[in-house]
Each structure stands twice: as structure tokens, then as C-alpha cells.
Structure 1
Amino acid sequence: MELNPEIIARIDGRLDRLGLVAEEVDLAAGLKPGTIAALLRGDGALPRGQALRRLAAALDVDEAFVLGLEPGDLIPPHMLEEPQGDLGLLAPDEEALLRHYRRLDVPTRAAFGLVLARAAGPEPEPPTKRGRR
């Protein structure tokens, strides 16, 4: 989701209303120092996933408010995704799934794998290279 003047104004307004400064919100939300100051300048990107949730909690609002959504609007799925996936790391839900999977015995793991494969559907076809024979 693109950072726009309305989102900046919402964050700035919450800081004023709560009597907080940007550095306090960075600390409370577990964000890198300077994140909120950069957002208020119109630089950088909005946090996603858990960082977005922590930012909303630090501002004492919900994620939809921070994103400038109307009541009842759904939060865009990409805003709820964890940035770890971009780095090749596991998101918290993936870590939890793996942790539970590792506690299963081998036959249960095999059964789980079959159920999961069926639920996920067929594998996509790999792209073919054209021009090579």
C-alpha cells in the first residue's frame, strides 16, 4: 500500500493526540529507530505484517485506521504478509507450522503431507524454454 498524505496525517494526528514523539512509537512498536520520522517526512514504506500490528497498537488504533481504510474494508493481504518471505526467512505462522510438524511421528508426517498436497492442488507446470531442442 502506498504511503499517502492521508496516512501520514493519521499517524501524525495520533502522535499529537497521544502526546508521543516518533522515537517513542518506534520503540513501543519495535521498529527501527527513525521509521516513524521517515514516514512523517513521506519517506520509506509502511510496515507490514506484525510490524504494522505493533504500530497500530502503539498508536492505540487498528490497522485499518493506520492504512486509511473505511470501516468494514478489508486490509489488503500484502499488508499482512511478513517481510521475512522477501528475505527467504519463515514468517511466524510458517515457523509455528514447522515446529508442530517436527513433533509428529513419521507415519503422521506422511499422512499430513498427502492431505496438504491435496489441499494445495496440482503443482504448476515449470516454464518451458523456447528455442532449444
Structure 2
Amino acid sequence: MFRHTFASLAFTTLCLAAGQAGAEPAGLLPALPYAGQPGQQPSRVALAWLAPVLGEGITPTSRQLLLDARSAEGEDPRQVTITVTQSGLLDDSLRDVRYQLVLSRQADHWQIDSSLRQHRCRRPADRLWRTTPCA
């Protein structure tokens, strides 16, 4: 697998602080497929789609956000997988949440074709990513 940095923005591993907790209400994210703006980088498309659950505010004590973009296609990919992981959540049941997004390049924009949301629970303190509710 080849790891990419898009344009001059080093989004391959981007650590930010973001300001909302845990699980998002059902239906909060836009429907798929989701088309980015013409010329918008894949990482920016992913962050725009996730904006309803990631929040706008910066609160360093609430959590960290890690964005990782990968493609198996070399320097000019047609498809990219972006994983956005939230950690340090201020939530009693969730420890981490991640979104795995598959984007494809269209004529003039990137499009999110599929997404998978997984989480790790605080109790039991396991390392497994799951889609089932925490106990």
C-alpha cells in the first residue's frame, strides 16, 4: 500500500483537536455518494462530509483527530481510502471512533462512495474495532 500526501497540505497524518463527543445521531451525515467541490483534495472532501459529527470548535482537552490517506495505485490514484480516527472522547462508553471512507476520482472532483463507522468501547477495555453497541 502506498501512503499519500495530497498537494502541499500534509494530510497523510494530521493531528487536530476537535470539539464534540462520541456517537452522532442517526441521519446526521449527508447521503452517499457525496461529491466534493471541483479541485478539492480527497482529505478536504472527507473532512467536509464528516463536519456534522466532528464539529467546528477546537477544544484541545476533548479529543484528537487522526487522518490517514492511502492508495494502492501510486502517484496518481483513481481511488483513495481515508481513515479518520477520533480519540480521547469525552464519552462514558466510547474510547475511540473511526470512519473509513472510500473515495473515487471523477472528472473534476472526488466522491465518497462508501463509509464504515466503527468504535472501541471503554468497558471492556478491548482493542477491537466494532460496529455493535458498547455494554
Instruction: Provide the TM-score with structure 1 as the length reference.
Output: 0.23
Instruction: Provide the TM-score with structure 2 as the length reference.
Output: 0.23
More helix by share: 1
More strand by share: 2
The structure, 1 or 2, with the larger RCO (C-alpha pairs under 8 Å, 6+ apart) is 2
Q: Which one has a bigger Cα radius of gyration? A: 1
